[in-house]
Every structure is written in C-alpha cells, then in structure tokens.
Amino acid sequence: MTAIEQVQRTKRDLGLVAGVTAALWGAGVTFGALVVAMLLSLLVPFSPGFRAAVLPVALLAGVGALFFVLWRRRFVWSVPRVALWVEERVPELRYALMTAIDSRYAEQLGERLAPIVAKANPGAFVRRAAWRSLLPAGFVLLLTGATFVVMPATWREAAVGVGAVAAPAEAEMPSRLEVLRGSVTPPAYAIRSGHEVMEFDDPASIAGLVGSQVDLHGLGIPDGIEILLGETPLEATQDGSQGWMSGFTMPDSAVALELRDRQYRRLVVIAPRTDEAPSVELLLPMRDTTVRVVRGDIALQARMSDDIGLGGAFFESIVTMGQEEGHITFRRDTLERRGFSGARNGEFAMTIPLADFRLGEGDMLSLRAVAFDNNTMSGPSYTTSETRVLRVATSSEYDSLAIEGAPPPNDTLFLTLRFIIQLTEEIHADRDRLDRDLFVDSAQTIGLQLRRVIRTVEQMQVEWTMEGVFDANPLLAEAHEALWEGARALYIAETGEALPPLWAALALLEEFALAERYYFRGQPPELLVNLGRVRLQGTDTGYAEPRVRRPVSGELREEMLEHYTRSVQFLETAPDSAVNALMLMQVDALREYPDLASFLGEAINAIRDGEDASAPLANVRRYLEGETIVRRTLTSWSAMWLKR
C-alpha cells in the first residue's frame, strides 16, 4: 500500500467517525432540548403557539450541533491535513509521510521513504480517536433519549403538543373528551332516604356523597384514552357502537380526575361530601336536680336531625351506686329504641317511673339520648346528647347545727375605748365639783387605761405589716396618733381636749374593722353565696362553640398565591392551562379550605362559560391575601412658612 493510499484510507475512516459523532451529538441535543421544554412546561404552561414551535426549535438546535461538530472536524476532508494528523501522533516519521504524498517528491523519494512510512500504523490512532469522540456523544444521546422516553406522555404533550410520533390520521381525529356526561348514583341508604341520581353534562367539577358511583360517558372509541383518578388509573371501555365509558367510586377526599386523549387533556375536580354524624339535643329533663324521695315519673324528650337520614334513637341510663371509694358500682340500661326510617328530623319522648331505676340514698341517675344514622358505607355514626343527672339525697344531708362563731378578739378594743370615752365625759362634767387632786388622779388613771388600748393598736399594726414586710395601714396609723394625743391630754388633766381625738380614734378603728370584715358581738356574719351558680342557672351549656376554620396562612398561603398569580397571567394567552391550574388549586382547597374552593369554583365556571370572572377572582385573591390593614403614615399638611 502506497503512502497516498494509506492517507486516503485514514481520511475515509476519520470522515466516517466525524459524521457519526456529529449525528449522535445532533440527536442528543434535539432530545435534550425537548426534555428541557417538558420540564419548563411543568413550571410555566405553554400556549398552543409556543408548543407548536418547540419541536422545530429542538430540531434546529440538533442540526446546529451537527454542523458545529462537522465544522470542528473539517480537517478530515483534506489529505495534507490528515497526513499532518498522522505525523502529530507518529513523531518518528519526521514529515516522511508528508513528503511521500507530495507529487513533487513522490517519484524521486517514494521508494526511499516507503520503509519509513510502512512502520506507521494510522489505524490504531483512528480507533483511539473514534472511541474518544463516539463515547461522549453516545452517552449524551442515551441519557437524553432515555429521559425523553420515560417521561409521561402528558409531559410530552404539554411541551410539544401533537408529538413527533403522532400519526396524521390521529392528528386529524377530534378530541374524544370534548363531550363528557354522566351521573352520580348515591349509596343505597341515601336513595332510601330520598336522594336521587344526579346527572351532569360537560362538568368542571363533580360533587357527591362519599361512596357514590360515578359513571362517565363520551363519544369515540376507548382505545388510547387514559383516565387518572389522582394517581389511580381507570379503564375506558366500549359504550355501544360510538362511545366510551368509565366509572369509579367517589373517594373520601378531594382529588383531580385527569382525562387524556393524545395531545388533548381535560381536568375535572372531584368534590366528595362526607356523611355527617347526626345531631341530638336532650330537651327533658332540662337541668340536673336532687330529690329527697324517689317517687313519681320522669319525662324524657329529645330532638335529633341528620343531613342524610336518621336510622333511630334511644335513651340510655347509668345508675351510680355507692359513696365510698372502692365500693362504687354502675348499672347501664337502654330504656327504649325508636326507628325513623330515614327521616332527616325527628323527636323522641317517653315517661318512666323513677321506681324502675331502683335508686337508693346517695345514688345518681345519669340520662342521655343517643341517635344514629343509616350510613352503611363507613358507619353508622352515633351521637350522644348532653347528660342530665338526678341525685338522691342522703337522710343526713339536710341535718345541720348552726353555731354562731365567737366575735374577733379585737372586738374588746372597741368596748374598752368606748368605756374610756364614757369615763372621760363623766369626770369632765364633774370637774367643777371634784377636788383638784382627785380630778387629776382620775384623769391620769384613765390615761393609763388608754395606754393599754394604744399597745393593742400597735400590736394590730404589727400583725397588719407582718413585722415590717408590708406597708403600715393608714387607718391604724391615724388612730394611733389620735390615741396618743388623747393620752397626753389626760396626763395633764385636760379632759376637754382629750375627748375629740378619742372620738376620732374610735371612728377610725370602726372604719378599719368594717373594712377588714371584723364582725362585732351580736352582729351575725353575712353568707356570701352565688345562688344562681348553686342552682345551675348559668348561661354556659358546658359545650364548646363550633370551631371556625382559620384562614390560609404561612407557606401554604404564599404557595397558593403564587399559583393563583401564575394562572391569572395565562388567562389571555393560554386559558385552558390557566383553568387547569385553577382546578388543581380547587382540589387542594377542598381538603382544607372549603370557602376558598367555593370561590375558585365560581371563577372556573365563569371562565368556562365566557363570562366576566373578575368578581370571583377578586374574592380568591382577597381570601388568600387576608384582610387589608390600612395604616396612616403621612403627617397632616402644614405650610413651611407657618413653622417657626
């Protein structure tokens, strides 16, 4: 093999490697662009025009990558450059190969250079270059192609629209999801209570009782129709000669029903309604009571209701016997049962003699009403009313001995002070008839008695302050000063000057005694009893008010507000995508915030009917953003020239 033939063979092999590498890179870039478009379509829904442009743009990107690789490998089309490529990898040739293929020197030096050129083996270098080029390109193509294949068909449809593999006949076939009708059949127990089968046509949402049977019907053959109830796939079967049908049982929580037909996609909100437990109110007896003698009859009356239908009701009694710990026993009985045959409202009344309960002293009779519904799917649900208690008093309960307590010890202080004032008034009235020495001695004796009263007041002040822990009582302090003023006047036999402070001290001490609830001898204490509370006449029923669901807050509010804002932005460019996003929001709202779900339902219906949806959309935003708080931050206007 001559040198020129060897170089041309190497050129052909390198050209083949370059072409295959460029093709692999072009295909990999095309699939990569489609994968990126699918991921972006999940974040931002594409409009129909944008979806139609995704595939051409991806193909252009692949073609651009192909030509870019070929341009980078353009040396393979030149024989001298291929020879130089071989020379770079075999330095021992020392440009012998370049000289051998040169037409100017081939005839003269060809035979001499042939042994040197024969030592080179370009095939090994070509194989090594092929591995280095084909492995990365093949890996990229395998990664992007596999990712594109394993992604759900709905993602490809959302990004590319019709799809690259759709047959022309399928593309021309209209959507088999355009016409959608069906019915919701309630459970058997609800039908017996008067609920009827509800039919729907072109629904945005389907509501019904949990456990209801939902039937869907559409036009066209069922082949290729995919139905997902949340994450659960449903099967579409043939319905007659020109339609398809499917069905499912109403779940216990809100979920999205997704229907797919090639590039077409439709969402329906499934809004289940839970069968609520019945409510029951005990009308008689009206309140708890205590009796001394077990005789007569007791009337029982209750009112109950249910959203679907009542199954029945009964009264229940519990007799608690015994008063000592460890010796208390119970007896539970069902008094009477009554059925309501699926009625939504009902009343139940009966009268029973108290003697039938075999009550003794200290026993307690607890009575309540119990109602249940006809729920055969997840029930029945039982509800109990508030409990009324009838207690039998013991024979010794009303025996009592009232002994008036002794008056407070400080009561003698007031008697002593009044006696001192009386003695002072007597000697003051006889001051002109008494001898001077006798008068002075009598006044000083009264002053010594007053000193004992002063010491008692000082002791009361110490007890009041807890030996200096608290502040002194001002009434005792003023009384103490007044007593000392009276005592000083008595020491110098000035009885007239002693009487005013003594009377003032007595008034202050009486005020202090009344303020501290000191009851004087002969004055019975007042019993402070809340009769209304003892007789159970309060307004509190003992039952908590119905809980009010809190508004959306925190991260959930921000997330839902972001979804809402993005959906509204696409109302003009991609209304179908916007409606689908609002439907998914409604599914999430039905689980936690039914008020928000109601606003979203109104907005969705208005958009689908082509009406003005501004009001319901404003209600949705107002609910998500909460109440607007307006704060005045601007000061009142004033002219600068008026300021000084």
- Interval 357-416: pLDDT, tens: 988 888 899 999 999 998 888 878 899 999 999 999 887 776 555 455 554 555 567 778
Decide if 208 contacts 186 (C-beta within 8 A).
yes
pLDDT given for residue 4 in this prediction: 64
The count of C-alpha atoms lying within 13 angstroms of the C-alpha of 158, restricted to the half-sphere facing its C-beta, is 23
Sign of CA dihedral 506, 507, 510, 511: negative
**Residue 565: exposure state from Cβ atoms within 10 A (0-12, 13-18, ≥19):** exposed
Mean per-residue pLDDT for 248-256? 90
With cut-offs at 50, 70 and 90, classify the pLDDT of residue 280. Answer: very high
Beta bridge partners of 219: 243
Residue 312: both structure tokens together = 């029945």
* Nearest Cα residue to 217 out of 178, 256, 243: 243
- On whether the CB atoms of residues 262 and 157 are closer than 8 A, the answer is yes
Q: Give the tens place of pLDDT for each residue, 122-148.
A: 767 777 877 888 888 888 888 888 888
Write out pLDDT tens, residues 606-630: 888 888 888 888 888 888 877 665 5
Stretch 221-225: mean pLDDT: 87
Which CATH number is associated with domain 174-273?
2.60.40.10
pLDDT of 217 strictly over 70: yes
Rg of the chain in Å (alpha carbons): 51
Cα gap 514→101, rounded to integer Å: 133
Q: Mind giving me the DSSP string for 339-386?
A: E-TT-SEEEEEEEEEGGGG---TT-EEEEEEEEEE---SS---EEE--
> Taking a C-beta distance cutoff of 8 angstroms, is the pair 457, 531 a contact?
no
pLDDT number for residue 96: 60
**Per-residue model confidence (pLDDT) at position 390:** 92
Confidence of residue 150 (pLDDT cuts 50, 70, 90): confident
51-71: burial string, b at 16+ Cβ within 10 Å, e else: beebbeebbebbeebbeebbe
Token duo for residue 18? 């370059």
User: How many angstroms from the chain centroid is the CA of residue 282?
Assistant: 33
Q: For residue 10, what are its two tokens?
A: 């190497």
Q: In the prediction, which pLDDT does 350 show?
A: 92
Rounded Cα distance between 521 and 527, Å, is 17
Every domain of the chain and the residues it spans: 3-160, 174-273, 279-392, 411-515, 554-625
User: Which helix H or strand E contains 499, and what residues bound it?
Assistant: helix 495-515
The answer to whether residues 248 and 259 touch, using CB atoms and an 8 Å cutoff, is no
- Which stretch of DSSP H or E encloses residue 19? helix 3-43
For residue 245, pLDDT beyond 70: yes
C-alpha distances (whole Å) from 531 to each of 492, 535, 537, 538 are 58, 6, 8, 10
**pLDDT > 90: what percent of the chain?**
19
What is the rounded CA–CA span in Å between residue 408 and residue 403? Answer: 15
Exposed, middle or buried: residue 637 (CB in 10 Å: 0-12, 13-18, 19+)?
A: exposed
Instruction: Band the pLDDT of 644: cuts 50, 70, 90.
Output: very low
175 is written with which tokens?
């959507």
pLDDT tens sequence across 6-34: 667 777 777 788 888 888 888 888 888 88
Residue 69, C-beta contacts closer than 8 angstroms, at least 6 positions apart: 18, 21, 22, 25, 26
Evaluate whether 309 touches 343 at the Cβ level (below 8 Å). Answer: yes
Contact between 447 and 490 (Cβ < 8 Å): yes
For the chain, report the end-to-end CA distance as a whole number of angstroms. 109
Judge if 174-273 and 279-392 fold alike in CATH terms: yes
pLDDT at 94 over 70: no
| Whether the Cβ atoms of residue 153 and residue 44 lie closer than 8 Å to each other | no
Mean pLDDT score, 517-538: 59
In sign, the C-alpha dihedral spanning 181, 187, 191, 195 is negative
Mean pLDDT, the chain, rounded, equals: 80
Whole-angstrom CA distances from 68 to 25, 164, 173, 374 are 10, 24, 40, 74
What integer pLDDT is reported at residue 169 of this predicted model? 44
Whether the CB-CB separation of 333 and 396 falls below 8 Å is answered with no
Would you say the C-alpha torsion 225, 229, 231, 235 has a positive or negative sign?
negative
Which residue type is seen at 337?
R
Q: Which residue has the tokens 């003697």?
A: 355
Burial of residue 343, with CB atoms counted within 10 A of its CB: 0-12 exposed, 13-18 middle, 19 or more buried: middle
What local confidence, expressed as pLDDT, does residue 163 receive?
46
- Under a CB-based contact definition with an 8 Å cutoff, are residues 515 and 475 in contact? yes
Is CATH 3.40.50.10860 the classification given to domain 279-392?
Answer: no
- The model's confidence at residue 50, banded by pLDDT at 50, 70 and 90, is confident
Per the CB < 8 A criterion, the answer to whether 210 and 250 are in contact is yes
Closest-CA residue to 186 (of 249, 245, 128, 259): 249
DSSP secondary structure string for all residues of 408-419: PTTHHHHHHHHH
Q: 473: which strand partners?
A: none
